[in-house]
Homo-oligomer: A and B are copies of this chain.
Amino acid sequence: MSERTLIKNLAAANDGPVSVSGWVETVRDQKKVQFVVLRDESGAVQLVHPRAFGEDGSPLDDELADTISGLSQGTFLTATGELKHDERVKLGGVEVKLASLAIASVAIAETPIAADSSIDKRMDWRFLDLRRPEQNLIARVQTTFEHALRGYWNDNDFIEIHTPKLMASASESKAELFEVKYFEGKAFLAQSPQFFKQMAQPAGFGKVFEVGPAFRADPSFTSRHATEFTSVDAEISWIDSHEDVMTMHENLLVAGLTAVKEKHGDDIKALFDVEVTIPSTPFPRIPLAEAKRIVAEHGYEVPRHDDDMDPEGERRISAYVLEKFGHEFVFLTDYASSIRPFYHMRHDDDPGLTRSYDLIFNGVEISTGAQREHRVEVLEAQARDKGLDPEELGFYLDFFRYGVPPHGGFGMGLSRVMMLLLHQANLREVTYLFRGPTRLLP
């Protein structure tokens, strides 16, 4: 492995010989001195090379200077030289006086995108777009967030599962299903791990989680939808109601956001001008019907014929909660049975309502959770009620025939959390490689 110092560690290193590796961000090729800004995965540093002149003032032969003059933006190289701390250098207070450059890979001179390119153009060249410090930070924030979630789950004895994405039938809506040629037959891509994470319950696993892809053949082109996304899922047993799921969910988010704030809070402030807030628990909970009443009282009638909220309503109730309780999160609870899947448990005393919630973060829904119906006769009746064929659901209904504990869980879109945490306008900005109806490349 090449001995290199990460650029972020230069400030704390002693003056003296040093080697750094990265890509050329800018070259300032001046008459007397040349400057290169080199960036690696941890930061950027200024490399400096004073040109050599003869006694008559004419430039001397200088191979290094020629190399620098020829550097194209994006070229990857290793630079060796002398590290020097100098307060006058704006970029980190250090510079490296070059002794030599070893070029690993030369970049084509023209970069196809610029900072002001359209998002579609930037997605065409996503691997270049990701070089921006903002994108690097998004990736690191997500890494830290996920690791903290898994730390919470691990500390609390959850089992990690990897459910299959190839299924014999639909798990949610048939309308949004991708079909796969499967040898002589066909298969479908899982729209969520719903059925299989529930399977861990009759399996006696107790508490499970999964972070993995989910697929929706949804022809939407909104800023919040993708055909493939990373779903964060958990499912726990022996709950009394969806309240227990919400408690786990909010503790999990506190763990994730605490780690993010600790590790990246300053960088997030610097690059996105966002103050990461660790939410207080319990998060506010508002039954959906009440939430609709509240937004109506504040002048917005949700223009839907079903009982659901709409995106504008979610923004408004979120704004209300932020103002009233100073909280960025709100659980909207007790959605109508008519707009929830058949596997959500309904209230005993009001079967028109489910024991479910949506979690809204900074105005947008990031998650749906619920207690699941585990009584197989009720489950079967609810499936029929929704026009589903219990025959086709046979393998799933079997999970409930041989004993199963009461249970519930949630599914949460990872990119949505990142988008809302970092105040980004579009999922595309926070997804490594976005997939949409017309986007399969790169």
> What residues of chain A have their CB less than 8 Å away from a CB belonging to chain B?
1-2, 4, 6, 21-24, 39-42, 72, 74-76, 78, 104-108, 111, 125-128, 130-131, 135-136, 139-140, 142-144, 146-147, 150, 154, 157-168, 178-183, 187, 189, 196, 199-200, 202-207, 212-213, 215, 217, 219, 227-228, 230, 237-240, 244, 247, 374-375, 395-396, 398-406, 414, 432-433, 435, 437, 440-442
Contacts and interface: CB of A to CB of B under 8 A. Distances in A.
Residue among A40, A42, A75, A404 with the highest chain B CB neighbour number at 10 A? A404
A440 B104 CA distance: 46
Given A130-B203, A165-B213, 9 more contacts: A72-B403, A76-B404, A126-B199, A130-B204, A142-B160, A144-B154, A168-B440, A396-B442, A398-B442
A107 to B, nearest CB: 4
Given A238-B4, A395-B442, A206 B402 contact: no
A39 to B, nearest CB: 7
Nearest to A185: B440
A204 B166 contact: no
A104 B228 contact: no
A196 B406 contact: no
A121 to B, nearest CB: 14
11 contacts: A4-B238, A75-B403, A104-B374, A104-B405, A130-B205, A140-B159, A162-B213, A165-B213, A180-B189, A182-B217, A183-B437
Task: Please state the number of chain copies in the assembly.
Answer: 2
A22 B204 contact: yes
B75 A166 contact: no
B403 A166 contact: no
B147 A154 contact: yes
Contacts of A39: 204
A396 B2 CA distance: 26
A196 B74 CA distance: 19
B182 A404 contact: no
Contact of A106 (B142, B215, B399, B403): B403
A432 to B, nearest CB: 5
Contacts of A200: 127, 130
A108 B154 contact: no
A196 B441 CA distance: 11
A212 B231 CA distance: 12
Contacts of A228: 164-166
A254 to B, nearest CB: 17
B238 A187 contact: no
A105 B2 contact: no
A294 B130 CA distance: 47
A124 B261 CA distance: 46
A189 B187 CA distance: 12
Contact of A105 (B6, B207, B374): B374
Contact of A76 (B125, B181, B227, B403): B403
Contact of A166 (B199, B414, B440): B440
Contacts of A104: 238, 374, 404-406
B130 A238 contact: no
A374 B72 CA distance: 17
B162 A128 contact: no
A164 B196 contact: no
